[in-house]
Amino acid sequence: MIEITDEEWDALASANFDTTTLLCAVDAIDKIRGSLGDAENGDPPQLRTDLVRLHQLAMAVFNQGVRGQVAEMFDTAADLDDQVYELMTTLKQAQKTLSQVTALYPESLSYGDLGDVD
């Protein structure tokens, strides 16, 4: 088992990492689960269904020249853009927290594939 050095331990101990930020990351993921997870009855996420609908509208507008669906296509695209932006913002918050943890990675742990280093 690889152990970190005393200096690395001192650096970790003095980092004052607030572990509640990890729970905030869990909360962030919980917020988006409904948008990305399959429905209870096995249906795909609504976001996927809405993207398929946008594709159908775009096919009608761009490939078939159906002018009557232009407004619906752009309304749908704008709604989806807002939803995806919110999802990305939430994921970026979780990623920022994870980066704070990985920034504390002790160098001695990178020797793991070399066997125990004494």
How much of the chain exceeds pLDDT 90, in percent? 73
Q: Return the number of other C-beta atoms located less than 10 Å from residue 44's C-beta.
A: 13
Q: What is the pLDDT of residues 21-71, one digit of tens each?
A: 999 999 989 888 888 888 888 889 999 999 999 999 999 999 999 999 999
Band (118; pLDDT cuts 50, 70, 90): very low
Mean pLDDT value across the chain: 90
Instruction: Please state the pTM of the whole predicted model.
Output: 0.79
User: Which position has the higher pLDDT, 118 or 112?
Assistant: 112
Burial 64-99 (b: 16+ CB within 10 A, else e): eeeeebeeebeebeeeeeebeeebeebeebbeebee
Q: How many residues does the chain have?
A: 118
Domain residue spans of the chain:
6-114
